[in-house]
Amino acid sequence: MNLNQITVPSLNIEKATEFYKKLGLLLIVDALPRYVRFKCPDGDSTFSIHKVDDLQSNNNLQIYFEDDQLDQKVKALQKKGIQFTELPNDKPYLWREARLKDPDGNHLVLYHAGENRKNPPWRIKQS
């Protein structure tokens, strides 16, 4: 299997679309006001947003977007007015992360893990 598509809920698709375009995602399907789909600028993954009438109050969803130039990406996004709840910092699990929320409160993590994403020093041995 290959995870290649994530869909998140939104109360205001138009506002969310502008936010994700600022992040650098490429709009490929425009079915406003109910649905939009983006292509990630790197790789082959897609990301979509669908209209909902209300949001779950216990939204624990976290969406991760990796960028090899995390610090530069965050600075560029800040210049576009994107607000971060946590600026880039090194984590004990060997990832560098910055955190923010989209207009609907979905939790986003921009990060760089490199080789440690799939092969951390504590990875279990495959038999």
Query: What CATH number is attached to the domain comprising 86?
Result: 3.10.180.10
Task: pLDDT band for 84, please (50, 70, 90 cuts).
Answer: very high
Can you give the pLDDT at residue 57? 76
**Domain ranges, residue 48:** 5-117
pLDDT, mean of residues 27-33 = 96
Q: Give the number of other CB atoms < 10 A from CB of residue 113.
A: 18
Can you give the pLDDT at residue 119? 92
Classify residue 101: in a domain, yes or no: yes
Classify residue 48: in a domain, yes or no: yes
Task: Name the domain count of the chain.
Answer: 1
Quote helix, strand, coil % in the chain, to nearest 5: 20, 35, 45
pLDDT, mean of residues 89-106 = 96
d(CA 105, CA 85): 11
Classify residue 103: in a domain, yes or no: yes
Can you give the pLDDT at residue 43? 92
Classify residue 123: in a domain, yes or no: no
Is the confidence at residue 93, as pLDDT, over 80? Answer: yes
Can you give the pLDDT at residue 58? 72
d(CA 70, CA 80): 15
Task: pLDDT band for 107, please (50, 70, 90 cuts).
Answer: very high
